[in-house]
Structure 1
Amino acid sequence: MPGEWNRTDSAFPAHRGLHELVEDRVADSGDRTAVVFGDERVTYAELDARANGLAHRLVGAGVGLDDVVALCVDRSVDMVVALLAILKAGGAYLPLDPELPASRIAQVTAVARARVCVVADGYRALLPGDVVAVPPSAPPRTDRPDRRACGANLVSVYFTSGSTGVPKGAASSHEGWVNRMTWSQRRHRLRPGETVLHKTTLTFDDAALELFWPLTVGARVAVLEPGAHRDPRAILDALEAHRGVYLQVVPSMLTMLLDELEQRGGRDLSALRDVTSSGEALPPETTGRFLALLPSVRLHNTWGATEVSIDSTNHTCGPADAADTGAVSVGVPFDNNRVHVLDADFREVEVGEVGDLHIAGVGLARGYLGDPAATARAFLPNPFSPGERLYRTGDRGYRRPDGTVKFVGRDDHQVKIRGMRVELGEVESALRRSPLVRDAVVVLRRLGEDDHLVAYATPAGPDRAPEPEQLRDLVADRLPKHMVPSVVVVLDALPLNPNGKVDRAKLPTPARPRGGDAEYVPCEGPAQEAIAGMWRDLLGLDRVGARDDFFDLGGHSLMATRFSARVRQRFDVDLPVRTVFSTPTVAELAEEVERLLVAKIDDMSEDEVRALLGGAG
């Protein structure tokens, strides 16, 4: 039976470069709009010419086949141009988040041997001195570079967290990505001129699907402005305005979108046909809400890994999934992907028996750049197909009688925070670099209404006990924001089991500190008090003051979305999520809420004002 489920062979243009599929559309859809960003509209012919011009500049900077080119540009038309240009020049792109610490950027560019970076002017200072900075625009040209990448060449390098303390750069090929885009088109039948919304941050590999798939079939990419990807209302506004037919989200954001639809409704999403959930386990409750609110839209659940060209399985959800237990099924392998559920001896387990999930097929990355040991541990000889490889995902699951796969958890210390992989060992390694720390362990804990990283550290000596905020700052200087622990607990010693290993089950549940560097200042007035109360519930805190910063206390983008929704419920005013980022203290946000209330009250009757203020007290 497993052999039957893995018979997924399907023809696709394996020899071609991903950018060549976009170039094909220039010939038959040159005058059609390719990319929309705000008021800017670019046709396929214009996109191709701008990418050609930048590609020639990259070739002149020394970029050749399989060279890694870093990219540090905000979401924009220039970003799309730069992606195509890097591939046209024969290179593979390495996305850099401008919010990363400079030390992290230096680390990943060094591991990837990225000698060139396409970078916006405002971010040049983030780059190491030995990286050549190339601006994201150049005079357009109709002639394409002679250098032509094919299916076997590198297309991208995406860095994921590494258990040894060093991030791992998964190096993928054009062949795997072309297969991924070809399957997407076969499954979803996107038509020329239809619109896909690009909202995912480029450093998350799902973003590639939102960009390249529509451009390979003559469709249109509507690029969401920077920061708006955090705001469910902005996403729904964009879907309406552009009549988007396809959207992909992580389950946590999907929940926020459903909340917005329930609270406000009145949306014209008649063009929307398909929504894909990926990056995290999809809860049955979310599936049930989706099917009730959007009965004419198909919901798909995918599973895979950055190391295997984004995704490898798909399941289209139905009513039975809403009543399921555990996470919703991730389905069956799609075109040219194979999934094996194996025991410790690499034998297929029986249906219903939990085993280790492995992936095979054309999507497998070459490996991790510059790390043959990590590559050998993760990419194994395939016992079912001599000469091929298996990718050990680290996930555990089982097959159901119909062949679909159910995910049940991890077999290591890797977790996901809002869809992003975190190797706990990398956070622990960052903490151990402090001369004040003897040992450290990091776990995922439920605090308030969300999962948080919690770190436990022991002092290097009796007179060298570190302050928790000091250790948080140390990690923040070295790792991305989503990898910084919300809480650090300093212990005299870590609890050990009889084998001498850390007993994570016996680590104490932390009492959430107030956090942040601000001196505690009591709240004044109903708006400040209400906002502080919302933060206490969301963040699991005992006390919040007027000068406290939402993000210093452990808040993040999705939690900011929940907070914005609660403000709307409580005060009946719209507080955009981006306002939480620009004015993140209780006092600043209370002032903004009061301003919105004054504007609202001007248009209300006396009785309505009394009712509003009574509900806000």
Structure 2
Amino acid sequence: MTGEDFRLPSAWRRTDPDQRPGGRTEVHYADLAAALELLGDPLAVAAAAHARVLNTLVEESAFRTDLLLGAAPGDIRALDLAPGTARTWRALVAHARRALDAPAPPAAERDPALLADRVLFAAEAAVLDKPDTARGHGLRVGLADGALVLVAGGFLAAAELDRLAALYRRVLERMAAAPDGDALAAVLTEGELHAVLRRWALGRSVTRESADVLELFRRQAARTPDAPAVRAEGRTTSYRELDERSTRIAHHLLARGARPEQPVGVCLRRGPDLLPVLLGVWKSGAPYLPLDADLPTARLRHMVERAGSALVVTHTEHLPALGAFDGVGYVLLDRDGPAIDARPTAPVQVEVGPAHLAYVIYTSGSTGEPKGVMVHHAGLANYVLWTALEYAARGTGGSPHFSSIGFDLGVPSLFTPLVVGQRVDLLPDPLDPADLGALLAEGGPYSFVKMTPGHLNMLSTDLEPEEAHGLAGLVIAAGDAFPAELARRWGDLAGPGGTPVATEYGPTEITVGNSGQVITRLPDDGLIPLGLPIPNTTMYVLDHRLEPVPDGVPGEVYVGGTGVARGYLGAPELTAERFRPDPYGVPGARLYRTGDRGRWRGGQLEFLGRTDHQVKIRGYRVEPGEVRGALQRRPQIGEAVVFAYPGPGGAQRLAAFVVPAPGHTVDPAAVRADLARDLPAYLVPADLLVVDEIPLTANGKVDTRGLRARIPSTQESRNR
């Protein structure tokens, strides 16, 4: 098994010239020698330990590094290792011996400047300091009598070399203690294990009362019955009116057969009926199923049928889009208005507990097949109570709602104001994105405004500085990658003391959001970190065996805690695949496998893209986010989007779309030539196109499908 060249983690690169470079250290293990001799010869044991440590630092189970068995530079050859295939330490030593004995060509001649993050393993530590054999490797490891000698170049700081030494010692101790023990289990030190599994990964533990969001609204309506609750289409509804209207709708739904656990479809635009219906569905005990009226009929049909909805609440105008469903009854608000108005306002007596479903919301899968996520009341209440403290408490103006009801990013804008006595401002539907800035400036100041980074980018160009300054107590950018440059641009626009910006992260399967924080310090470039876990939730970076990875090493993000959804409706196999038992939680706890790549950096969780967005270009593993970051470091480029697509022959190609920075022009050929000086050839986009703006979908995310249609090679392919 041959893998790619091993590279030290990029996050471990010494970027501060004041940091002391790595230097030299020794890992002594004479006290373990007797036990280690039972595993094999000293060189094979040392090579096995070396393989396991390197395997801790990469996502791949197989990789290639350099091996020096002699004393001359010509003796350096490739060493192919696959430690991820050895389940016990004994098997790992046997694998290392086979790798050492395997015939291999000499290592390819490379510019020493390209070896800064590469590793060399030597049979004799004495050769490590010879200038003609060092060759510029970022880490050189050699075997001495009862010790491993580690020599680091300028790539690693002394602190990282010390961490490596601790890892080597930890592995050797594990090998000596249990030769047939689990060689794939985490080998992190106790201090690092505590950081990545406890100190950074766990949100605060907060005791919540059993009240759901509906009960919190009821209590607020009793406290402030005459306060404005909803503004829509020029009409304002008070808390008393909203409470009474939703109760009448609940009675009507119950009469039509609504019951707990069976979703009631809601196909409504942002108008005066929306919140009374959503609350009325909850009062009937049922969960709601949001149905975006702009979706294709086939998609709506699929959602209603798969959810098993027997009722759909809508207006007559949406019936053509919904189509006819066997066994589905419609509550048409414009037709059934008199019957609903005749219903009582006496409280509905339906028992609903924290584990009951609050809503079922469909998300697109990687295959295009929508998945119905089952969200329960306990998870929703935990999230909404957090947003009440972190978002709504920053003002008194409530929040605007301008996203589709089928996009859970807008959930806090719908419900959080209603549990604290503030107003929900439903913006016109449909909404021309060009009007968003003016509408928000007119309706504010708000307590908070939640949007996608795409929307924030639009506002950063549409709003005047004074409008951005007083827009809200907080703006939150969520639902997509959040570039640091955009946060910086918003901060410059809003000015000192102006509207601050926060980040929030969380897949639908964790109930809207799992982490977030106000941005007080910006990274130099790249993306904004994902924030800290909210109360009663967890967030880990794990490998494919659910083992934690070290600080600075990429892995997959797993989230857990109160917010974890019940699973996917009618899809037990997919639920089992994505929702895993939590090995670090209480019995019965589960984790959701997000499919997002991330890494810890000293307590900050950095987003590195999707695991399913990694591609191979010319045989090399490529993360488009790395290329995007390189583009955005160019002063003439304001925004950039990078993704892979199959070229005319089927091979993957990189495409980049860039928006010039204000006052600049972009020459695609010059940019590609400039990138080629910093990046390997396979990371330079084959297509680089200049656009006036990055197009967004209706939900405010980057419209990659629309961008892909602009690539000349794909247009030519369609025309053939």
Instruction: Answer with 285-294 or 364-373: which moved more.
Output: 285-294
1:291 is matched with 491
Distance 1:249 1:333 in 2: 20
* TM-superposed deviation, 1:374: 0.7
Query: Which of the residues 375, 393, 415 maps onto 1:190?
Result: 393
Distance 1:292 1:452 in 2: 26
* TM-superposed deviation, 1:165: 4.5
Check if 1:234 corresponds to 2:436. yes
Give CA deviations for 1:430-456 in whole Å, capped at 9, x if unaligned.
xxxxxxxxxxxxx9999x987699986
1:345 is matched with 545
Distance 2:561 2:318 in 1: 38
- Aligned amino acid, residue 41 of structure 1: T
Check if 1:36 corresponds to 2:231. yes
Distance 1:309 1:337 in 2: 11
Distance 1:227 1:242 in 2: 20
Query: Which of the residues 210, 215, 224 maps onto 1:20?
Result: 215
Name structure 1 gaps, 5 residues minimum.
Answer: 416-442, 457-488, 496-502, 511-535, 541-553, 563-617
Check if 1:176 corresponds to 2:379. yes
* TM-superposed deviation, 1:67: 1.0
Q: In the TM superposition, what are the counterparts of 1:556-571 in structure 2 within 5 Å?
A: none
2:516 is matched with 314
Instruction: Answer with 220-229 or 29-38: which moved more.
Output: 220-229
- Contact 1:14–1:175 (CA under 8 A) maintained in structure 2: no
1:133 is matched with 330
Check if 1:329 corresponds to 2:532. no
1:116 is matched with 311
Distance 2:699 2:581 in 1: 40
Query: Which of the residues 602, 607, 615 maps onto 1:407?
Result: 607
- Contact 1:69–1:115 (CA under 8 A) maintained in structure 2: yes
Name structure 2 gaps, 5 residues minimum.
Answer: 1-194, 616-623, 629-636, 658-688, 704-720
SS in 2 for 1:281: coil
Distance 1:235 1:288 in 2: 19
* Shift in alpha-carbon separation, 1:63–1:452, aligned structure 2, 3 A: farther
Distance 1:555 1:343 in 2: 33
SS in 1 for 2:612: coil
Distance 1:453 1:354 in 2: 20
Distance 1:559 1:42 in 2: 28
Check if 1:371 corresponds to 2:571. yes
Query: Which of the residues 544, 556, 570 maps onto 1:356?
Result: 556
- Contact 2:270–2:427 (CA under 8 A) maintained in structure 1: yes
Distance 1:368 1:298 in 2: 36
Distance 1:229 1:371 in 2: 37
Q: Identity of paired residues, percent? A: 30
* Shift in alpha-carbon separation, 1:269–1:150, aligned structure 2, 3 A: farther
Distance 1:414 1:32 in 2: 51
Distance 1:226 1:303 in 2: 26
Distance 1:228 1:560 in 2: 15
Query: Which of the residues 364, 378, 387 maps onto 2:588?
Result: 387
SS in 2 for 1:85: helix
* TM-superposed deviation, 1:195: 2.2
Distance 1:236 1:312 in 2: 31
* TM-superposed deviation, 1:539: 8.1
* Shift in alpha-carbon separation, 1:409–1:268, aligned structure 2, 3 A: closer
SS in 2 for 1:172: strand
Distance 1:81 1:169 in 2: 23
For these two proteins, the number of residue pairs brought into alignment is 448
* TM-superposed deviation, 1:189: 4.8
* TM-superposed deviation, 1:227: 2.5
Check if 1:504 corresponds to 2:652. yes
- Contact 1:14–1:151 (CA under 8 A) maintained in structure 2: no
Distance 2:213 2:386 in 1: 14
1:252 is matched with 454
* Shift in alpha-carbon separation, 1:162–1:558, aligned structure 2, 3 A: closer
Check if 1:49 corresponds to 2:244. yes
- Contact 1:29–1:44 (CA under 8 A) maintained in structure 2: yes
- TM-score using structure 2 length: 0.58
- Aligned amino acid, residue 133 of structure 1: Y
* Shift in alpha-carbon separation, 1:288–1:250, aligned structure 2, 3 A: same
- TM-score using structure 1 length: 0.67
- Contact 2:483–2:526 (CA under 8 A) maintained in structure 1: yes
* Shift in alpha-carbon separation, 1:358–1:186, aligned structure 2, 3 A: same
* TM-superposed deviation, 1:82: 0.8
Distance 1:314 1:555 in 2: 23
- Contact 1:400–1:406 (CA under 8 A) maintained in structure 2: yes
* TM-superposed deviation, 1:186: 2.1
Query: Which of the residues 349, 352, 377 maps onto 1:149?
Result: 352
Query: Which of the residues 202, 205, 216 maps onto 2:408?
Result: 205
- Contact 1:32–1:193 (CA under 8 A) maintained in structure 2: no
Q: In the TM superposition, what are the counterparts of 1:543-582 in structure 2 within 5 Å?
A: none
SS in 1 for 2:416: helix
* Shift in alpha-carbon separation, 1:281–1:555, aligned structure 2, 3 A: closer
* Shift in alpha-carbon separation, 1:190–1:333, aligned structure 2, 3 A: same
SS in 1 for 2:406: coil
* Shift in alpha-carbon separation, 1:79–1:559, aligned structure 2, 3 A: closer
* Shift in alpha-carbon separation, 1:508–1:28, aligned structure 2, 3 A: closer
Distance 1:282 1:177 in 2: 24
- Contact 1:240–1:267 (CA under 8 A) maintained in structure 2: no
Give CA deviations for 1:384-442 in whole Å, capped at 9, x if unaligned.
123211100000111111x1200001111599xxxxxxxxxxxxxxxxxxxxxxxxxxx
Give CA deviations for 1:258-285 in whole Å, capped at 9, x if unaligned.
1012xx4453753621010101111111
- Aligned amino acid, residue 350 of structure 1: P
Distance 1:145 1:197 in 2: 29
Give CA deviations for 1:474-531 in whole Å, capped at 9, x if unaligned.
xxxxxxxxxxxxxxx8x6xx63xxxxxxx434x9999xxxxxxxxxxxxxxxxxxxxx
* TM-superposed deviation, 1:164: 4.2
SS in 1 for 2:467: coil
Query: CA RMSD for the aligned pairs?
Result: 3.2
* TM-superposed deviation, 1:238: 3.2
- Contact 1:95–1:203 (CA under 8 A) maintained in structure 2: yes
* TM-superposed deviation, 1:135: 2.1
* TM-superposed deviation, 1:144: 2.3
Check if 1:303 corresponds to 2:451. no
Distance 1:61 1:374 in 2: 32
SS in 1 for 2:448: strand
